[in-house]
Structures are given as C-alpha cells and as structure tokens.
Amino acid sequence: MISITNLTKRYGKRAVVSDVSVDIATGESVAFWGPNGAGKTTIVRCILGLVSYEGTIEVDGLDARTRGKAVRSLIGYVPQELSFYNDMTVVELLDYSASLRGLPTDRVDEVLEIVDVDDHANKRVRELSGGLKQRLGIATALLPDPPILLLDEPTSNLDAAARDGAVRLLEGLRHEGRTLVVTSHHMEEVGMLVDRVIAMEDGVITTECAPMELAERLGLRAWLHLITTSGDTARAIEVLTANGFNAQLNSRGVLVEVSAQSKGLAVATLYEAGVHIEDLEVWR
C-alpha cells in the first residue's frame, strides 16, 4: 500500500531522514517509533507531499511527488494537535474538510457519531478539551472513509484519561481493514495499536520488529518503585534478588529494574511469594 524507497530529507546540509526504505502492506498497522528528532514526523510530511525529498514514495502505486492530490485522497491525516481554526465550530470545520474532499455533508453527522463528539457539534474548536480536539482530528481523517490513516503523535498532548480514550478509539479503527501508520514515542500506545514497529533514531531505522519485541531488542529497561506492607521490604528484596531481579531499598519501598515490556513479572513474583504490595510507580 505504501512503498518508501531510499527516502532522504535534508534541511540545508543536515539530513533529518537518511536513506529510509519501508514497505507497508494493505491493512497493516505500522508505527514509526523513536524520540523527538528521530525523523518519524518528517516521513509523514514526505508522504503527504508537505516537504520536498529525495527517493521515492508510492501510495497504492501512485507517485506521491507527481500525484500528490490523488495520494492524499487515499489518506486520512490526524495531526498532533488541532490548535488552529479555533473560531470555527466543530460542524463548520468538518463541513469545510468534507467540502475540500467533495463529500456530502451528511457524512459529517456519521463521523461525529463514530468519534462520539456529536454532543459538541456546535461548540467552537477553542472550547474543546484536548481529548475532544483529538477526536475531532480523527473525525476529519475519517470523513472520506480512507483506506489509509496517518496519525502523527496522536496522543502526545493528551492527559492519561484522554489518551486512554483516544487509543481505544484508534484500536477500533485498526480492525476495520485500514492501513494504519502511526508516529509515536509511547511504547504502550504502539503495543496496542500496531503489528509492526519501525524504530528510528537520528533519521535512520535502527530496528523493525513486533511491538512486544521492541523493548528487548533495544534493551529498554524501566524501574518499578514498590511500596510493600511494613516489615516486608527486606523480604521483597530477598525474593526479587533470588529470582534474578536487580532490586534495592529505596526510602520506604523497593526499587526493582524490569524489562519495559514485562513490568508485571516482578509484581507477580512477589505475589506468588506472599509479599503484599500496597502501591507501585513506574520510573523510567
């Protein structure tokens, strides 16, 4: 569905994406994962024809450079944040987007229901919460019922509750046969939304794998801060150390190093040993 070959993007002499080649199959969901500045958003901008680039990008067999409008007619794009058109109402914005795509306006009512924003249809964009703005962004992307959804850091500006809602909404869209391309630096989000992760750093692909393998491949670790019932701290350290964990005392709790993708293993180990945990925090 999307074929990227030897993609390079330079700003002046600096290459922000270097010789990237990726093929994304129809119906596949893929994440470009990496820290800020890794080049993942630039790839999205290249696919949309917003920036010039070296190399080739084909979408459904169409060259993105010469058939930009045709390519974009196949794509629903969700920006990082809808921080513009603040004076428009939700319906006005969707009508505008539908009109640009030559779609009938009754499609607007359908997508408002799909993303559950119909109760806010007459509010101005600036009056919406971050979560609702993100749902509106997804609504504009869904208007043409596109075969491809391109999501640029879809939850990066949301609080935990709004992020959870957005991820659940996107998870539902994933199973509708669309090709889903997401950029993200949240490992949990990637794990829930995609089949394949393309990890990037400094403009190059560092690894490609299933989401569950990513933490292991990249050697990503996290620290759990466990608060045990009084008197159990020493025993918790003893049990964890005996099971191969790196555990240490930290004020009134235990700090234990875990794989970023299997944080529950330490908790399960303590539970089986009869050590009661009152609370926990994830430290990265």
Binding site residues, other proteins, CB under 8 A: 11, 27, 45, 48-52, 60, 62, 66-70, 72-75, 77, 79-85, 87, 96-97, 99-102, 114, 140, 142, 144-147, 150, 176-179
CB of 163 to other proteins, least distance (A): 20
Q: Would you say 228 and 276 are in contact if contact means Cβ atoms under 8 Å apart?
A: yes
CB of 173 to other proteins, least distance (A): 9
| Separation CA 223–CA 254 (nearest Å) | 10
Q: Which of 227, 226, 210, 207 is nearest to 218 (CA)?
A: 207
CB of 260 to other proteins, least distance (A): 31
List all residues 6 or more positions away from 168 whose beta carbon is below 8 Å from its beta carbon.
none
Beta strand pairing status for 29-33 and 196-201? Answer: parallel
CB of 205 to other proteins, least distance (A): 22
Distances (CA, A) of 80 to 130, 158, 188, 198, 263: 11, 10, 17, 19, 28
CB of 127 to other proteins, least distance (A): 15
Task: Pick the closer one to other proteins by CB: 140 or 184.
Answer: 140
Task: Pick the closer one to other proteins by CB: 69 or 284.
Answer: 69
Cα 163 to its chain centre, rounded Å, is 10
| Separation CA 46–CA 38 (nearest Å) | 14
